[in-house]
Amino acid sequence: MPTLHWIGKDKIINHHQDVPYKVLNHQYGFSNKGKTETPIDSGNLIINGDNLEALKSLLPKYEGKVNCIYIDPPYNTGNEGWVYNDNTNSPQIKKWLGKVVGKESEDLTRHDKWLCMMYPRLKLLHKLLAKDGVIFISIDDHELSHLKIMMDEIFGPYNFVDYFCWTKTSTPPSLANKSRKTVEYVLCFEKRKTSTKYVAELGDGGDAPLLNSGNPLAKIKFRSEDVFFKMSDVTFPAGQYDKCYLHQNITIKNGYSNIDFELTGTFKWIQKTINLEISQGTTFVIKSDKFSMRFLRTTDSYKAPTNLLKEKYFTTTLDKKNEGIETNEGAKKDLENIFGKYMFDYPKPTSLVSFFINLIENPNSIILDSFAGSGTTAHAVLNLNKQDGGNRKFILIEMENYAETITAERVKRVINGYGEDSKAVEGTGGNFDYYTLGEPLFDDNNNLNENIPIEKIQEYVWFTETRSAYSPPLEGCPKDGVVFLGNHNDTGYYFIYDKDNLTTLDYDSLAAYVQQKAERYIIYADNCLLPETFLREKNIEFKKIPRDITRF
């Protein structure tokens, strides 16, 4: 597979792991009844803040949950006159590049800067996307070729779906103005191209065993999304199976494990080869409780199709004539009708974003836009919900200072209705919560930030342990839920924390706090006075605060 190299890539390739985790601060809720101080908690969010940090803050609740992503990032044209600064020399990004890439950033070309800006954001978007999720990215020819290769690296070349071509203007180019372009592109990738329905119905033909006796024993890690189980609502405890050893307790829901897991066995391939096979579309399947894994390769005779998207659109040019999709001119008129004045030069029309959302045959999907601009994606979601009674949710992230005055304000007017006389548009109804980025969870000394509410710390710790969203347990919660986080896969999680005092795990605290029976216990505290032999006997793992809290 071709790879793309640019100045600063070595500094940026894992930068998404170093981005500080910041909490989200609720500012207000909004519905057609007006503002509320308390959260509405409907699932519709508008977040003002750096989109890289905001994406990181979404992980505990939304990793693997977003069904559709549409983004309209800077095209890197060098045009600095736009309201949305379509140039990576903007103060925010320039400052960020200086911190992360270092002195090399002073020598970066415009393309290098753009790639450095996009790469970690795409890595986090990939994490947030559901196993059957789809991402659409608007772009023009300035960065189209670079974006495709970068997406191949992050999402895998096999998961590429298609290029969509959108006729963006009704004014054709001419010899006198050859720079005027009539077409832009939308790049489409799926998180996992193989149809789970197809794999589930597949018979025993066309596949081969992954285990290969005679090879040395090896431990291989599999992401939950890479192995499909022909069963559901089944729990596999850690232990020895027919020809391999499972290292974690896992639960199968909808054909997939609830967590990443490791197997030890005599495999046909090493970890590097397995990762390469996955990137090229190979599907791994476990068909029985023997836990014997098989694999299916994509060949000319076997194409793993997708049943997620409506296939009829993949070769069409998107324009007003054949699909009812507006142009930039139409989108500008819509914004002028909403706000009563000129707003943006090149907004995306609601009909374009609606087209892509409507390809996802799920009326309850979560739609994310991390370059929200004027709020077109939320407008499209609200329109579609009104049309078909769906319950789609939107998450918008906008880093510029107009997130409140334009992005959120547009959504408010769409909810309530806008325009006058013959141009009046009825409100869609709906609601959202408006957030800003708060403080980091860890301070400069890598200790827990004492200003962070305990429930935010609990949410973070639970996610790092279980990779699932946190819901406070209904019972067994001494001190209002400060200690007992919950049970997950027969493991009880406890977090003994007091920002004003050192906490200790000893016999007294164990008797006072650990009241929920489990096969295993993970207990966080500042200190532990219990003997190692006692911990092993009771199947307790002690984790020291803050040292043993995972950073992700």
Question: What is the rounded average pLDDT of the residues 34-59?
Answer: 95
Q: How confident is the model at residue 315 (pLDDT cuts 50, 70, 90)?
A: very low
Asked whether residue 47 carries a pLDDT value surpassing 90, the answer given is yes
What is the pTM assigned to this prediction?
0.79
Q: Is 241 helix (H, G, I), strand (E, B) or coil?
A: coil
| Residue 217: per-residue pLDDT | 86
| Residue 323: per-residue pLDDT | 60
Asked whether residue 89 carries a pLDDT value surpassing 90, the answer given is no
**Pairwise pLDDT comparison (69 vs 201), residue with the higher score:** 69
| Residue 197: per-residue pLDDT | 38
| Residue 3: per-residue pLDDT | 82
| Residue 386: per-residue pLDDT | 95
Q: How confident is the model at residue 489 (pLDDT cuts 50, 70, 90)?
A: confident
Which range of 12-21, 70-79, 172-181, 363-372 scores highest in mean pLDDT? It is 363-372
Asked whether residue 305 carries a pLDDT value surpassing 60, the answer given is no
Q: Are strands 45-48 and 393-398 parallel, antiparallel or unpaired?
A: parallel
Question: Within a 10 A sphere around the Cβ of 493, how many other Cβ atoms?
Answer: 25
| Residue 366: per-residue pLDDT | 96
Could you give the percent of the chain with pLDDT greater than 70? Answer: 86
Asked whether residue 201 carries a pLDDT value surpassing 60, the answer given is no
| Residue 361: per-residue pLDDT | 79
| Residue 49: per-residue pLDDT | 94
Q: How confident is the model at residue 179 (pLDDT cuts 50, 70, 90)?
A: low
Question: What is the rounded average pLDDT of the residues 72-98?
Answer: 70
Question: What is the rounded average pLDDT of the residues 290-302?
Answer: 68
Question: What is the rounded average pLDDT of the residues 298-309?
Answer: 42
CA–CA distance, 19 with 15 (Å, rounded to integer): 6
Q: 531: burial class by Cβ within 10 Å (0-12, 13-18, 19+)?
A: exposed
The answer to whether 350 touches 331, Cβ cutoff 8 Å, is: yes
| Residue 391: per-residue pLDDT | 94
| Residue 502: per-residue pLDDT | 93
Question: What is the rounded average pLDDT of the residues 176-183?
Answer: 65
Number of H helices, E strands in the chain: 17, 30
Asked whether residue 375 carries a pLDDT value surpassing 80, the answer given is yes
Could you give the percent of the chain with pLDDT greater than 90? Answer: 48
Asked whether residue 83 carries a pLDDT value surpassing 60, the answer given is no
Question: What is the rounded average pLDDT of the residues 400-410?
Answer: 95
Q: Which amino acid is at 223?
A: R
Question: What is the rounded average pLDDT of the residues 534-543?
Answer: 95
Asked whether residue 42 carries a pLDDT value surpassing 60, the answer given is yes
Give the pair of three-digit tokens for residue 514: 């650990």
| Residue 474: per-residue pLDDT | 56
What digits encode the pLDDT tens for the residues 227-268? Answer: 888 887 888 999 999 889 999 999 988 788 888 999 998 888
Q: In whole angstroms, how far apart are CA 76 and each of 3, 87, 96, 387?
A: 21, 5, 17, 36
| Residue 198: per-residue pLDDT | 36
| Residue 320: per-residue pLDDT | 52
**Pairwise pLDDT comparison (176 vs 483), residue with the higher score:** 483
Q: How confident is the model at residue 174 (pLDDT cuts 50, 70, 90)?
A: low
| Residue 378: per-residue pLDDT | 98
What digits encode the pLDDT tens for the residues 416-460? Answer: 999 887 678 999 999 999 999 999 999 989 999 999 999 899 999
What digits encode the pLDDT tens for the residues 205-218? Answer: 457 888 887 788 88
The answer to whether 280 touches 156, Cβ cutoff 8 Å, is: yes
CA–CA distance, 530 with 114 (Å, rounded to integer): 53
Query: What value does the CA radius of gyration of the chain take, rounded to a whole number of Å?
Result: 25
Helix (H) or strand (E) holding 246: strand 244-246
Mean pLDDT, the chain, rounded, equals: 85
Question: Within a 10 A sphere around the Cβ of 65, how many other Cβ atoms?
Answer: 17
